[in-house]
């Protein structure tokens, strides 16, 4: 007998499957359609263990669905635009396209060695002009709908990457990609009006996402319900946004953000030098630094606002804890009930006026140490006194203020419009031209795609080569035919992943982004990927699909019916794997040593999939040995014989109860317990091979069902077993076995026997045993018999399935 040698079978089967087109999705094939998708990778040049972890379990699940009769679409592509290609170009003088496509070829080969059921005939890269052409088409449609617009304003600028960044790409004040401190600049930029969809994006009714993901998106959108209240100032009316209009009478000063437009006009001559210095210093800080805890800073402008009800004069301050990008960029400060205002008032000796008091409490002490932010009754507020403060009374108070023209109800969002343009080369060119006569004009749709020029010159400073490519730059105005210049910006690469799931439906369509006849495949039935995409990618794609729906392109409002996140495989040391830490595990090395099936098994076995955990180099030996045992189970002769006692019922119970569990675990994406159950079943099978049940129909059934259960997890060895057993076709086109419910339930049970209330022994009886049968079995047990023989029986009780009690006298 040959020993298990994955290297002798894996490549062979991968080639055979590819040749047979075994995994090519055919929409006309029978079976309910199911769309399973794993987030596509960036073509960095190498699939790492994290990619394997992210892909093998969803592959197993897609294979399982297929065996259950679903017609499963499981495609893969490459998210191919982005900075690394361009940085490689700047650093090593290579062409970004050449670099990207060579990486893709290499990674496809790596993917193939994983043994997945990916349908490669649908593969595309988002840097293909045939793909990004539709980004441009969408951009023009969004523009026509008023959703793409250009605006002057403060933006985050990364001086190293020489490009603007979306707020989402600034982490702790630094460029998410290169870590350089981000600057603020005023630039005219393209935006996408995602804020139009803020409310709808808060509704997750049609998309099943993990609680944590929903929460992160909800916080990112940051909906706040409140009111705008207007104050008079020497520079005209100033409106503030507040979520607590019930505390209006407690407002004792006003604060403007340093960048607020009225700062200069409100600053008196005496205060000017101080205010200007403060504003300049604040400009050098990031929003995050400004909002960090720590001592509040600020300066008085010298001017006063008039309280709209009391007419009191409230000093107007400038402080950087108020952000120009939120609400109206100014606040009414209520130090008694807001922590930041309280700290500020204490620091600068400003008035604190209590207006909310818990029932039965004493008035707030003059030397109170902190603001009171809880519930209570309104006090010191004239006509509003006695109302309960907080949510309950806000609507009523706003209505009364509205009548007098002081306030109006207002809902504010933290979400900003999506800053869409980048000053980089390796992305989708924005399809606009600028004519001295006719301004910004979209490129006519029949001229799409606007292709990226080849052979551009990269400069070490990082400026976009598009700006320097005069041949590419100069074009004609679609309105007058006169000379015009192209937009040199490219799109944020998040556009590419915003709608790619639709492209897989008809990846070669050159008349539309996707074939509308295929819309029924959407939404994606199960989308899997990392939690790092909880906000940006998911929010953008949810937005994009809602716009597509409003354009009449799709009937769906959500791209993903269900999303699940895998955890992360860490280094042996529990740290994130990275070259600098030297703790990287290379899946290619592992495949060379153990074969893909073992690596697949180990990655599913190593941890609950959604949690992940540290890599254990010893751990892989378990799965390797298991697959050898599996192999021997089928192919080793000579070790069979009646040396063990496994009955037919026991064997069938083991097989069918495992089958039942594996099905339930696939459903809930619990892969490690599937592997564990199959390992346990292997033990029973190895025993059964040496028992009289060997060679019976039950034995054949066991080998058949076990072989099919292996197929989704370890496709190569399962295929070899299938074939070597002389069965025609592929195990991967077989159906998933049906559970024999009767066999999956044990028909005997083991229960305790009490004599006069004391447990004396245990008996194994049929589940269907009658009281008489149960009693007979109990009395036949020697441990029980000792206590009942020769004694009078007072009572016999059998609680079916639970306990037997024999009460005796004497």
Q: Least Å distance between CB 97 and ligand ANZ?
A: 44
Binding mask 406-425 for ligand ANZ (x = CB under 6 A): ------x-------------
Among 71, 136, 247, 498, contact with ligand ANZ (rule: CB under 6 A): 247
Identify the sign of the CA torsion 383, 387, 390, 394. negative
Identity of the residue, 10 or 246, whose beta carbon is nearer to ligand ANZ in the bound complex: 246
Give helix 596-605 / helix 621-635 axis angle, nearest 10°: 120
In terms of Cα–Cα distance, which of 714, 722, 736, 527 is closest to 604?
Answer: 714
Residue 307 touches ligand ANZ, criterion: CB under 6 A: no
In terms of Cα–Cα distance, which of 760, 577, 744, 589 is closest to 656?
Answer: 744
Structural tokens at position 343: 């700290």
Enclosing H/E stretch for 481: none
Structural tokens at position 62: 């897609």
Maximal C-alpha separation, the chain: 118
**Which residues are annotated binding-site positions for ATP?**
579
In terms of Cα–Cα distance, which of 305, 304, 375, 308 is closest to 337?
Answer: 375
Residue 464 touches ligand ANZ, criterion: CB under 6 A: no
Cα angle, residue 796 at apex, residues 792 and 800 outer, rounded to 5°:
160
Q: Which stretch binds ligand ANZ (CB under 6 A): 112-120, 129-137, 323-331, 522-530?
A: 323-331
Residue 136 touches ligand ANZ, criterion: CB under 6 A: no
Among 102, 323, 561, 785, contact with ligand ANZ (rule: CB under 6 A): 323
Structural tokens at position 593: 């040593």
Structural tokens at position 528: 């899997």
Q: Which residues contact 42 (CB under 8 A, 6 or more apart)?
A: 78, 79, 80, 82, 84
Residue 322 touches ligand ANZ, criterion: CB under 6 A: yes
Binding mask 250-279 for ligand ANZ (x = CB under 6 A): -------x----------------------
Q: Which stretch binds ligand ANZ (CB under 6 A): 113-121, 165-173, 299-307, 333-341?
A: 333-341
Residue 338 touches ligand ANZ, criterion: CB under 6 A: yes
Q: Which stretch binds ligand ANZ (CB under 6 A): 42-50, 329-337, 506-514, 792-800?
A: 329-337
Among 337, 708, 760, 779, contact with ligand ANZ (rule: CB under 6 A): 337
- Whether the CB-CB separation of 227 and 409 falls below 8 Å is answered with yes
Q: Least Å distance between CB 287 and ligand ANZ?
A: 10
Residue 673 touches ligand ANZ, criterion: CB under 6 A: no
b/e for 244-267, b at 16 or more Cβ within 10 A? bbbbbbbbbbbbbbbbbebbeebb
Binding mask 498-537 for ligand ANZ (x = CB under 6 A): ----------------------------------------
**Which residues are annotated binding-site positions?**
579
Structural tokens at position 511: 């008349």
Residues in 219-238 that interact with ligand ANZ by CB under 6 A: 224
Residue 331 touches ligand ANZ, criterion: CB under 6 A: yes
- Whether the CB-CB separation of 161 and 139 falls below 8 Å is answered with no
Residue 394 touches ligand ANZ, criterion: CB under 6 A: no
- Whether the CB-CB separation of 477 and 484 falls below 8 Å is answered with yes
Q: Which residues contact 316 (CB under 8 A, 6 or more apart)?
A: 233, 253, 254, 255, 256, 266, 300, 301, 303, 304, 305
Residues binding ligand ANZ: number (CB under 6 A): 18
CA 589 to chain centre: 29
Residue 357 touches ligand ANZ, criterion: CB under 6 A: no
Residue 166 touches ligand ANZ, criterion: CB under 6 A: no
Q: Which stretch binds ligand ANZ (CB under 6 A): 48-56, 242-250, 528-536, 581-589?
A: 242-250
Burial grade of 229 (CB within 10 A; 0-12, 13-18, 19 or more): buried
Residue 75 touches ligand ANZ, criterion: CB under 6 A: no
Among 308, 327, 376, 449, contact with ligand ANZ (rule: CB under 6 A): 327
Enclosing H/E stretch for 660: helix 648-667
Identity of the residue, 254 or 755, whose beta carbon is nearer to ligand ANZ in the bound complex: 254
Identity of the residue, 400 or 767, whose beta carbon is nearer to ligand ANZ in the bound complex: 400
Q: Which stretch binds ligand ANZ (CB under 6 A): 84-92, 322-330, 470-478, 606-614?
A: 322-330
Q: Give contact residues for ligand ANZ (rule: CB under 6 A).
A: 224, 241-244, 247, 257, 322-323, 326-327, 329, 331-332, 334, 337-338, 412
């Amino acid at each position: 007998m040959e020993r298990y040698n994955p290297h002798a079978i894996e490549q062979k089967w991968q080639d055979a499957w590819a040749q047979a087109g075994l995994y090519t999705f055919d929409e006309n094939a029978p079976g309910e359609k199911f769309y399973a998708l794993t987030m596509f990778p960036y073509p960095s040049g190498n699939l790492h263990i994290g990619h394997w972890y992210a892909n093998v379990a969803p592959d197993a699940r897609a294979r399982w669905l297929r065996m259950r009769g679903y017609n499963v679409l499981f495609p893969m592509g490459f998210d191919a635009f982005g900075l690394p290609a361009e940085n490689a170009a700047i650093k090593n003088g290579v062409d970004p396209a050449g670099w990207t496509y060579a990486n893709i070829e290499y990674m496809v080969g790596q993917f193939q060695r994983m043994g997945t059921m990916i349908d490669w005939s649908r593969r595309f890269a988002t840097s293909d002009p045939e793909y990004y052409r539709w980004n441009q088409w969408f951009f023009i449609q969004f523009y026509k709908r008023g959703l793409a617009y250009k605006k002057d304003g403060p933006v985050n600028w990364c001086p190293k990457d020489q490009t603007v960044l979306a707020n989402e790409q600034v982490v702790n004040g630094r460029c998410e990609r290169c870590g350089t401190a981000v600057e603020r600049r005023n630039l005219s930029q393209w935006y996408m009006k995602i804020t139009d969809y803020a409310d709808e994006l808060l509704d997750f009714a049609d998309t099943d996402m993990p609680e944590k993901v929903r929460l992160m998106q909800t916080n990112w959108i940051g909906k706040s319900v409140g009111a705008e209240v207007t104050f008079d100032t020497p520079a005209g009316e100033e409106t503030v946004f507040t979520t607590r209009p019930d505390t209006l009478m407690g407002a004792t000063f006003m604060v403007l953000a340093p960048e607020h437009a009225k700062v200069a006009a409100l600053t008196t001559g005496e205060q000017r030098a101080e205010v200007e210095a403060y504003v300049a210093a604040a400009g050098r800080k990031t929003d995050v630094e400004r909002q960090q805890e720590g001592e509040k800073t600020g300066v008085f402008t010298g001017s006063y606002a008039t309280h709209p009800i009391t007419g009191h004069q409230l000093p107007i301050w400038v402080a950087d804890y108020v952000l120009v990008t939120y609400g109206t960029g100014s606040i009414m400060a209520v130090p008694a009930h807001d922590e930041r205002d309280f700290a500020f008032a204490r620091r600068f000796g400003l008035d604190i006026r209590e207006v909310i008091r818990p029932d039965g409490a004493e008035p707030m002490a003059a030397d109170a140490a902190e603001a009171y932010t809880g519930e209570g009754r309104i006090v010191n507020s004239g006509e509003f006194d006695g109302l309960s403060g907080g949510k309950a009374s806000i609507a009523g108070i706003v209505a009364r203020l509205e009548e007098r023209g002081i306030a109006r109800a207002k809902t504010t969002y933290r979400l900003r419009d999506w800053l869409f343009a980048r000053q980089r080369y390796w992305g989708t060119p924005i399809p606009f031209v600028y004519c001295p006569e006719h301004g910004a004009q979209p490129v006519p749709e029949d001229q799409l795609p606007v292709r990226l020029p080849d052979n551009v010159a990269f400069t070490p400073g990082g400026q976009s080569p598009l700006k320097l490519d005069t041949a590419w730059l100069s074009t004609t105005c679609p309105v007058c035919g006169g000379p015009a210049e192209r937009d040199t910006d490219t799109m944020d690469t998040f556009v590419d992943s915003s709608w790619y799931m639709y492209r897989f439906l008809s990846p070669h369509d050159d008349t539309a982004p996707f074939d509308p006849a295929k819309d029924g495949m959407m939404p994606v039935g199960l989308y899997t990927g990392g939690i790092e995409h909880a906000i940006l990618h998911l929010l953008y794609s949810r937005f994009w699909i809602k716009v597509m729906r409003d354009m009449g392109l799709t009937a769906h409002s959500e791209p993903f019916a269900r999303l699940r996140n895998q955890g992360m495989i860490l280094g042996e040391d529990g740290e994130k794997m990275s070259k600098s830490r030297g703790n990287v595990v290379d899946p290619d090395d592992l495949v060379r040593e153990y074969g893909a099936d073992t690596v697949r098994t180990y990655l599913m076995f190593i941890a609950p999939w959604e949690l992940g955990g540290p890599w254990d180099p010893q751990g892989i030996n378990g799965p390797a040995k298991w697959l050898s045992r599996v192999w021997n189970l089928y192919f080793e002769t000579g070790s069979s014989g009646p040396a063990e006692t496994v009955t037919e019922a026991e064997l069938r119970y083991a097989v069918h109860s495992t089958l039942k569990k594996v099905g339930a675990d696939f459903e809930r994406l619990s892969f490690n317990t599937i592997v564990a159950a199959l390992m346990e079943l292997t033990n029973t099978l190895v025993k059964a091979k040496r028992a009289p049940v060997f060679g019976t129909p039950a034995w054949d059934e066991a080998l058949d069902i076990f072989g099919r259960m292996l197929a989704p997890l370890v496709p190569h060895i399962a295929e070899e077993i299938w074939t070597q057993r002389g069965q025609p076709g592929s195990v991967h086109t077989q159906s998933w076995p049906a559970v024999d419910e009767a066999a999956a339930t044990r028909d005997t049970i083991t229960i305790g026997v009490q004599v006069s209330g004391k447990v004396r022994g245990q008996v194994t009886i049929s589940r269907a045993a009658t009281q008489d049968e149960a009693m007979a079995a109990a009395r036949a047990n020697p441990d029980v018999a000792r206590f009942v023989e020769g004694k009078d029986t007072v009572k016999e009780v059998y609680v079916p399935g639970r306990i037997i009690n024999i009460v005796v006298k004497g």
